[in-house]
Amino acid sequence: MRSKLNLPADRVAYARALAERITAPVQDFIDGHSSVTVERATLRLAGADGATPDGVPVPNLVVDSIRAADPAALEDGATVRYVNALIKSGGAVRALNDRIAAGFDVMSLPLGDRAAIEAKAEELVAGTLARVKENRGFRERKLEQWKGRNNSPLLYLIVATGNIYEDVKQAAAAAEQGADVIAVIRTTAQSLLDYVPFGATTEGFGGTYATQENFRIMRAALDEVGERQRRYIRLTNYASGLCMPEIAAMGAVERLDMMLNDSMYGILFRDINMYRTFVDQKFSRMINAYAGVIINTGEDNYLTTSDAFEKAYTVLASQFLNERFGFQAGLEARFQGLGHAFEMDPTIKNGFLYELSQAQMAREIFPEHPLKYMPPTKFMSGDIFKGVAMNTLFNFVSKATDQGIHLLGMLTEAIHTPFMMDRFLAVDNARYVMNSMDGFYDDIEFKADGIVVSRAHQVLKETIEFMEHVEKVGMFDSIEQGLFAEVKRPKDGGKGFEGLVRKGPAYYNPFESGLKRELGLAR
């Protein structure tokens, strides 16, 4: 990719080296720990499913019973006890799940032969990974079959009614109107639940519960629309929160295509404990990597609490760090939808040029990544005509800098949850702008000493200085001191800290080792 900003390659490489050094101690911590949701995700991948009449999921029942019987037992991993019970009860997964939901305690059985347990576990691993591999193959075949039928960048629209069946209607309409990606917004505060609800749901506030059955229902609906339109419609949901690995596991099994997956978002904006969520992020991203799921990161959220002009360097620094964390989990660049946003104060003179510079800089530094570009939200008002103008400029920058995933801006962003007509107008605006300037990216050049180029060099310089400071302080202490997004979080505070688990010498997680093997991460 030929640079239009002439960013010094050695400085970009140095920033990546800084990211590797900053994340190394975090990775060392991750490698020595698990969590209750990592263990529950492993159980789900092994087949644990269902819930009690009161809605308590079977994976939670298993993990909770292990901890209740012996707090240290979970240090060996939950899979050992579940598979032990599976063998001793005759080997039928569904029957075992029904027994557990009815009150059976897996800890009531003595452990059998460890070799037999591990052999059965490896059999379960092979079966689940084969299903996920087939899902990935199906997606890739459809994308190849209908190559060129989607927009570029991909047009991303949200649905958020609270009722999965109403979501299906809105999602189908959005896809028919031209959307390439449908994101089902989660109900408010689901990210703070340390369990995943079971079954189809019809009530939610500000969104719809992320459940495996809801994933299945929406996937089937979008496949139906895709067949009619001869386009593959991608499905997105949110993994970030206290159940990152479990939601990633459900998404892999039900063939989701994108997932919002970013620990920093959970730490800074949901007050989730940093140690817990970095552990959860690693396993969830390994699942995403094997499933071919594009992760979307949340750097755009930094600009809701920090000024987009003054703190632009924190966005770029986080992109470098998220890239490194992604690589450590086996995620190729093409599956990393690093986030950023069109969030400059519209009263800033030359603000459009600064936005153009930031977007072009991200594209040049991360050339293989399907960058996720967010629309203006912070400065949107009830003036829908101004909103259309702001979104039009956003659409222009997105196409002019060859972004990958384009979250459509809504003219009613600051007024109410968008109606279907609002979504149609957003699609129509984006397609008009992007069609009329289709060849702009290849045609445009920037003045060597102009605002766009100078701004990019300045942001890169500030980013490196910031990352050098983070390296000295350490990642965990940097978060505690509020260096990211001007939000401070204590290292031993936040939600979910009690769910962190130290791996014991006999720790066994067949899916972790299986994924490492498949992704080339085994050491």
Average pLDDT over residues 243-250: 98
Place of tokens 């995933």: 405
Residues taking part in catalysis: 265, 300, 372
Residue pLDDT, tens place only, 267-302: 999 999 999 999 999 999 999 999 999 999 999 999
The CA distance from 187 to 204, in Å, is 5
Task: Output the pLDDT for position 419.
Answer: 84
Average pLDDT over residues 297-316: 94
The CA distance from 390 to 385, in Å, is 9
The CA distance from 96 to 61, in Å, is 12
Residue pLDDT, tens place only, 153-184: 999 999 989 999 999 999 999 999 999 999 99
Task: Output the pLDDT for position 71.
Answer: 84
Query: What is the 3-state secondary structure of 312-331?
Result: HHHHHHHHHHHHHHHHHCCC
Identify whether the C-beta of residue 453 lies closer than 8 Å to the C-beta of residue 447: yes
Ranges of beta strands (E only) in 144-185 are 154-159, 181-184
The CA distance from 455 to 472, in Å, is 26
Task: Output the pLDDT for position 523.
Answer: 57
Task: Output the pLDDT for position 486.
Answer: 93
Average pLDDT over residues 470-496: 96
Task: Output the pLDDT for position 417.
Answer: 79
The CA distance from 330 to 350, in Å, is 40
The CA distance from 258 to 457, in Å, is 32
Average pLDDT over residues 100-129: 96
488: Cα within 13 Å, side-chain hemisphere: 3
Average pLDDT over residues 426-447: 95
Identify whether the C-beta of residue 67 lies closer than 8 Å to the C-beta of residue 40: no
pTM for the full model? Answer: 0.96
> How much helix, strand and coil, in percent to the nearest 5, is found in the chain?
55, 10, 35
The CA distance from 285 to 309, in Å, is 31
Task: Output the pLDDT for position 487.
Answer: 94
Task: Output the pLDDT for position 80.
Answer: 96
Distance of CA 134 to the CA centre of its chain: 21
Contacts of 395 (CB under 8 A, 6+ apart): 406, 409, 429, 430, 433, 434
Closest CA to 440 of 390, 398, 399, 405: 399
Q: DSSP of 43-87, one letter per residue?
A: HHHHT---B-TT--BHHHHHHHHHHHH-TTGGGG-HHHHHHHHHH
Domains of the chain: 33-126 (no CATH), 149-454 (3.20.20.440)
Average pLDDT for the chain: 96
At residue 510, does pLDDT exceed 80?
yes
Residue pLDDT, tens place only, 399-430: 999 999 999 999 998 888 788 899 999 999 99
Amino acid of residue 12: V
Q: By percentage, how much of the chain surpasses pLDDT 70?
A: 99
Task: Output the pLDDT for position 1.
Answer: 64
Average pLDDT over residues 230-240: 96
Residue pLDDT, tens place only, 363-400: 999 999 999 999 999 999 899 999 999 999 999 999 99
Average pLDDT over residues 323-351: 97
Average pLDDT over residues 47-74: 96
Distance of CA 234 to the CA centre of its chain: 14
Three-state DSSP class for 242?
coil
